[in-house]
């Protein structure tokens, strides 16, 4: 159980709650829109709120179309890149906008990631080269924040990468899987992601533990 007082020094990191990751979007996460009201209900508990926004230029290296490949195929020329995605979250398009129900007005920082054409970024802390920082860690440090709660879309990609990197940086990290949804390219991906976050030292926080405080 967490005390409300402790949340006063904690940042809520809301990952990629954008149209393209919701039903009807270009890279729809099944039931992705279900997180919107859950995220909104948790925001007022936190003193600092960060929204991340996947924000890619046209022709981005994570798009299958940039390599003449079908969506969800592997990038064989560059296996470390992993799965190639449908074109999604193209900067300035409706698909890249936040879900219209999200309380964007409550956010203190909007952090865009994956903005470089040749570099993807799942994590809100580092681009996928593992070393190019986004600036989020500096922001948290500047404000003396050492604890983050992470939730949003998608559990098995950007939520996982953000939580694991946060722990790697020495932050105290809690993830809220109930307010997150997985892409689930394979059915075990959510469970494996939760396991990987726990193995990295992240706590898994049930929604009820937060709500009962509010
Ligand atoms: C994401 C795949 C590609 C995510 C972003 O937000 O989890 N997944 N870009
Ligand atoms: Zn992306």
Asked if residue 149 belongs to a domain, the reply is yes
The total number of structural domains that make up the chain: 1
pLDDT band at 211 (very low <50, low <70, confident <90, very high): low
Residue 120 vs residue 58, higher pLDDT? 58
Ligand 1: lining residues by beta carbon, under 6 Å: 16, 21, 54, 62, 85, 153-154, 157-158
Asked if residue 85 belongs to a domain, the reply is no
CA 208 / ligand 2 centre spacing (Å): 30
pLDDT in tens, 62-119: 999 999 999 999 888 877 778 999 999 999 999 999 999 999 999 999 999 999 999 8
CA 22 / ligand 1 centre spacing (Å): 12
Ligand 1 atom at minimal distance to the Cα of residue 56: 9
Asked if residue 49 belongs to a domain, the reply is yes
CA 159 / ligand 1 centre spacing (Å): 9
Q: Check which CATH number belongs to the domain holding 162 and give it.
A: 3.40.50.850
pLDDT band at 214 (very low <50, low <70, confident <90, very high): very low
Minimal CA–CA distance to 162: which of 15, 9, 12, 39?
15
Asked if residue 169 belongs to a domain, the reply is yes
- The answer to whether 150 touches 111, Cβ cutoff 8 Å, is no
pLDDT in tens, 107-132: 999 999 999 999 888 999 998 888 89
Asked if residue 200 belongs to a domain, the reply is yes
CA distance 13 to 134: 14
Provide the residue range defining the domain that includes 200: 7-58+98-211
Give CA 165 to chain center in angstroms. 12
pLDDT at 212 over 90: no
Asked if residue 36 belongs to a domain, the reply is yes
Asked if residue 71 belongs to a domain, the reply is no
In what helix (H) or strand (E) does residue 151 lie, and over which residues does it extend? strand 147-153
- The answer to whether 165 touches 189, Cβ cutoff 8 Å, is no
Sheet containing 10-15, strands listed edge to edge, beginning at the edge strand earlier in sequence: 109-113, 48-54, 10-15, 147-153, 172-181, 203-204
pLDDT in tens, 169-195: 999 999 999 999 999 999 999 999 999
Q: pTM of this prediction?
A: 0.95
CA distance 192 to 190: 5
Asked if residue 162 belongs to a domain, the reply is yes
């Amino acid at each position: 159980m967490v005390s409300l007082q402790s949340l006063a020094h904690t940042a809520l990191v809301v990952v990629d709650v954008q149209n393209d990751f919701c039903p009807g979007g270009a890279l729809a996460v099944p039931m992705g829109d279900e997180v919107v009201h859950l995220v909104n209900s948790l925001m007022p508990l936190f003193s600092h709120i960060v929204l991340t926004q996947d924000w890619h230029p046209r022709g981005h290296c994570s798009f299958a179309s940039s390599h003449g490949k079908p969506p969800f195929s592997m990038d064989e020329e560059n296996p470390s890149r992993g799965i190639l995605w449908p074109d999604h979250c193209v900067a300035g398009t409706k698909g890249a906008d936040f879900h219209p129900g999200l309380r964007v007005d409550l956010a203190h920082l909007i952090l865009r990631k994956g903005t470089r054409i040749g570099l993807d970024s799942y994590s809100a802390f580092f681009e996928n080269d593992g070393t190019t920082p986004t600036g989020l860690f500096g922001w948290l440090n500047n404000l003396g924040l050492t604890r983050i709660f992470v939730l949003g879309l998608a559990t098995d990609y950007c939520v996982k990468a953000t939580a694991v990197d946060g722990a790697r940086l020495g932050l105290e990290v809690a993830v809220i899987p109930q307010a997150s949804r997985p892409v689930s390219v394979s059915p075990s991906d959510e469970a494996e992601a939760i396991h990987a976050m726990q193995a990295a030292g992240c706590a898994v926080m049930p929604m009820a533990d937060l709500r009962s405080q509010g």
